[in-house]
Amino acid sequence: MTMNIKRLGVSTVLALAISAMTGCYTVEANLPGTLRNDLKPDQTETVGTVKIEKGNWFFLWGLMGNPPPDFFSTELKQQVKAKGGDGVSGLTYESQAGCVDLIIGAVTGGCISPMSFTVSGNIVRVKAAPIPGKSLAQGNASASAERVAQAY
């Protein structure tokens, strides 16, 4: 019995140490491409909007259940490609725990904690040369090059 209590104590301390080292409710999602601040307003043309709404379930007070690195990037690329854009301007990241999320978290004592995430922005065509690097979508980049050529 005493051994079990000791083991429980050691496990708790270890869990706390791990949480202290790594943090809880961690989100680290890749954004595809490059974030440019050198473009002037007349170098972009808005062709639509993008909105990605996703939920994620965290477990054990946020120690487990972190979303994957491509949490937003895959859908972001798909939506931009579908509208013939080159990128996104006015990108906005939002996260929140909604009413249902709070109820689930409260009922489970934080063992299960859902959260909602939204990424939105304007899909744009870029009338400037891309930054040198590996093409994220060869066909898309070629189309962009044609538009750049036409602009010149």
Shortest Å distance, C-beta 11 to other proteins: 19
Q: What is the amino acid identity at position 106?
A: A
Shortest Å distance, C-beta 48 to other proteins: 14
Cβ atoms within 10 A of the Cβ of 99, count? 7
Q: Binders of other proteins among 36-65, rule CB under 8 A?
A: 36-39, 44, 62
Shortest Å distance, C-beta 6 to other proteins: 25
| Dist. CA 91–CA 121, nearest whole Å | 4
Shortest Å distance, C-beta 111 to other proteins: 15
| Dist. CA 112–CA 15, nearest whole Å | 16
Residue choice 1, 5, 20, 42 for contact with other proteins (CB under 8 A): 20
| Dist. CA 77–CA 52, nearest whole Å | 11
Q: Which residues pair with 57 in a beta bridge?
A: 114
Quick check: 140 binds other proteins (CB under 8 A)? Answer: yes
Residue with tokens 């050529």: 149
| Dist. CA 100–CA 94, nearest whole Å | 17
Shortest Å distance, C-beta 54 to other proteins: 13
| Dist. CA 138–CA 123, nearest whole Å | 18
Quick check: 12 binds other proteins (CB under 8 A)? Answer: no
Residue choice 102, 107, 108, 111 for contact with other proteins (CB under 8 A): 102
3-class SS of residue 150: helix
Quick check: 25 binds other proteins (CB under 8 A)? Answer: yes
Which residues of this chain interact with other proteins, rule CB under 8 A? 19-20, 23-39, 44, 62, 69, 72, 76-77, 80, 85-99, 101-102, 116, 121, 124, 126, 128-138, 140-142, 144-145, 148-149, 152
